[in-house]
Amino acid sequence: MTTSEYNRCVDEYSDSVFRFVLKNLRDEEQARDVVQDAFMKMWEKAATITNSKAKSYLFTAAYHTMIDSIRREKKYTSSEEISKETFVTNSHYSDLKEILDEAFSILPEVQKSVLLLRDYEGYSYADIGEVINLNESQVKVYIYRARLAMKKYIGSMEMVI
């Protein structure tokens, strides 16, 4: 990969990688750090990366850097187990985005990632598997489980409206 190809990758993919990481982390500064680290890793390996594999490498590096960041953060903060009661809402909400964000936040990290890559970024199952290091059927299962968990959390539409 040449310097001009690398710069073109930065121009083309920086926004989508940032959106992907930000949706998972919900912290702009931390997301910027992760994206910067991913581009730095890509630059260090530029000699071995072909231009056709640059996007895949970049998202993979960002995903692994994000997971490392989450694991580091969990070491310093106490995490609570998600109980089955968190999947049921009994109050009435009027803000659908807030409900979707809450439902999304309870998902495990791998489910968040596959759902974002599929539904927000439009990746194919094979591309998601390559980024997250899963096979295609595992990706489909994680997406199904994530959607099912979000559906259980949200409940019926009467609760939302």
The half-sphere exposure of 89 on its side-chain side, counting CA atoms within 13 A, is 24
CATH number attached to the domain at 1-79: 1.10.1740
The pTM is what?
A: 0.54
The domain limits of the chain are 1-79, 80-161
DSSP 56-75: HHHHHHHHHHHHHHHHHHHH
- Helix pair 136-154, 125-132: axis angle to 10 deg: 100
Sequence length of the chain is 161
- Looking at domain 80-161, does it have CATH number 2.60.40.10? no
CA distance 156 to 38: 40
DSSP 45: T
| One pLDDT digit (tens) per residue for the chain, 161 residues | 888 888 888 888 888 889 888 887 878 888 888 888 888 888 888 888 888 888 888 888 888 888 888 777 776 654 444 444 444 444 554 577 777 778 788 888 888 888 888 887 888 888 888 888 888 889 899 989 888 888 888 775 555 55
